Structure 1
Amino acid sequence: MPAKPISLGSLHFEKRGDAVKFLKEMLYRYDVGDRVSSTDSVFLRAALENHPNAAAKIGCGISDFSVRTADYGTKCFWVNRTDGTTEKFSITESIRGV
């Protein structure tokens, strides 16, 4: 299967796997409880818009992103909505549509 390119904000990746790697490296730069920087939020917003359930994940609108705990003691990105609600989302699903 040929590689599928993807763009996240101003960054272009020849392979979706490279975009997943980029976002995972971003995730591990943050500690649980950290708010994601405005620079990194641009890429997360672009990734979330590719998620198969983007409309439900985004809901009423995005305020910002944070890093919190996820299942099985891992950590993941969470979208913080403008109405104060939050939702976790998968990097892999956002990029690969899995």
Structure 2
Amino acid sequence: MPAKPITIGSTHFAKKGDAIAFYKGMLNRYDVGDKVSAADENLLRAVLALHPEATEKIGCGVTHFSVRSADFGTKCFWVNRPDGTTEKFSCTTCIRG
């Protein structure tokens, strides 16, 4: 099966695997507890919009993104909402659908 290109926001990737590697690299630049930079926030907003449950993940809106602990000792991106609630999400799920 040939590679399927994907565009996330204004960023183009030759295949979904390249996009997943890009976002994993971004996640690995942060430590648990860090707030995501403004530049990376724009990229995360674009990928989050692709999540199959984007409406539920975004909820009442996004104030910022952070990196926190996830299942099994891993870390992931979290949506931080205006009402103080948070929700974790997987960039891989966003990309793979």
Task: Provide the TM-score with structure 2 as the length reference.
Answer: 0.95
> 5+ unaligned residues in a row in structure 1: which ranges?
none
Residue 82 of structure 1: CA displacement? Answer: 1.6
Aligned partner of 1:15: which letter?
K
What is the CA RMSD across the aligned residues, in angstroms? 0.9
Identity %: 68
How many residues of Structure 1 are paired with residues of Structure 2 in the alignment? 97
Counterpart mapping for 1:67-82 below 5 A: 67-82=67-82
SS of the residue corresponding to residue 51 of structure 2 reads: coil
* Alignment partner, residue 41 of structure 2: 41
Counterpart mapping for 1:51-62 below 5 A: 51-62=51-62
* Alignment partner, residue 8 of structure 2: 8
Residue 9 of structure 1: CA displacement? Answer: 2.6
Task: Provide the TM-score with structure 1 as the length reference.
Answer: 0.94
Q: Provide Cα deviations, 1:37-91, integer angstroms capped at 9, x if missing partner.
A: 0100111111110000000000011111000000000000001112111000011
Aligned partner of 2:40: which letter?
D
Tell me the distance in 2 between the aligned counterparts of 1:6 and 1:81.
28
